[in-house]
Amino acid sequence: MQNHFLKLSDFTKGELDDLFTLTRDLKAKQKKGVEHHLLKGKALAMIFEKSSTRTRISFEVGIYQLGGHGLFISSGTSQMGRGEPIKDTARILARYCDGVMIRTFGQEIVDEFARYSSVPVINGLTDLFHPCQIMADLFTVIEARGSYEGLKIAWVGDGNNMANTWIEAAAIFGFDLALACPKGYEPDAQVMAWAQAKAPGRITLTGDPKEAVKDADVLNTDVWASMGQEAEQKEREKAFAGYQLDESLVNLARGNCMVLHCLPAHRGEEIADDVIEGPHSAVWDEAENRLHIQKAIMATLMG
């Protein structure tokens, strides 16, 4: 197992499956009220350069349930926000804390932080990858279907950090992934090339949402304009016309399909209200499972 959790492609399928096994155990203990203080007395520094609801709360509650303590650090109120080199902050936090979670913009920031940190660093989100979220999504699929094997998973919308991480996951775990993205909003070309070389034929990219969702077992989407792209909102609304995950698209998937959304959702834009509230939606289980998968990640790296 790697010392850090920066992107899925750093790990083997077996290592990630072990995290799912531990997640199942920790979730069962939490539901039964069984104490599981695997990180008693340990501290997690949580650095936020992007705003957050689920990431902050799930990590803070998670480290508490594991017997440790979480420290919220906003970049605007830390020396990082005043220009302190990343490597300096990394080396100092490693003297105080037992692990660091970062939610930021560039992947290069978490990569550099990890290079200089002597304690585990967890990627809470970057513009390139969102590994904790995809692990939570896959765990949600496993809970509902028993396995991800043999499934077709569809992505409709922006080729963003979520799409990039789903591409990595498809190559590692071996399920089929179909992505529908407008021209000019495709996933990262290097990520796609790596995945297609690792798992030829597993990952397809189209501009037609109907083609992507046809006979899919799991449907995914995300906001059209992510954090930092708000100025592009109107332009993106035009580009993504026809990419809303609505009832007509859901009806093209398998009858027992699952609908996922990492949240927050812009209802009426990338997803219809009656879909996120409908019988196929597993969005609330998915959001809860951020807590459980991240506990497994922290326990494995920091324990």
Provide the annotated active-site residues: 103, 130, 133, 222, 262, 290
Distance (Å, whole) CA 263 – CA 56: 14
- Alpha helices by DSSP H, listed for the chain, are 13-32, 54-65, 86-96, 107-116, 131-145, 161-173, 189-198, 209-213, 233-239, 247-250, 273-276, 283-302
Amino acid at 57: I
187 known member of a binding site: no
135 known member of a binding site: no
**Residues pairing with 102 in the sheet:** 47, 123
Residues across the chain: 303
162 known member of a binding site: no
133 known member of a binding site: yes
Amino acid at 174: G
* 105 CB neighbour count, 10 Å cutoff: 15
Distance (Å, whole) CA 188 – CA 163: 9
**Residues pairing with 47 in the sheet:** 73, 102
227 known member of a binding site: yes
118 known member of a binding site: no
* 119 CB neighbour count, 10 Å cutoff: 22
23 known member of a binding site: no
226 known member of a binding site: yes
Q: Are 187 and 253 in contact (CB under 8 A)?
A: no
**Residues pairing with 28 in the sheet:** none
103 known member of a binding site: yes
222 known member of a binding site: yes
115 known member of a binding site: no
DSSP annotation of 208 = -
97 known member of a binding site: no
219 known member of a binding site: no
Q: Are 223 and 191 in contact (CB under 8 A)?
A: no
Q: Are 102 and 124 in contact (CB under 8 A)?
A: yes
Which residues make Cβ contacts (< 8 Å) with residue 218, sequence separation at least 6? 141, 151, 152, 153, 154, 257, 258, 259, 260
- Could you list the residues known to form a binding site, using ranges: 52-55, 79, 103, 130-133, 161, 222, 226-227, 262-263, 290
- Could you list the residues known to form a binding site for carbamoyl phosphate, using ranges: 52-55, 79, 103, 130-133, 262-263, 290
- Could you list the residues known to form a binding site for L-ornithine, using ranges: 161, 222, 226-227
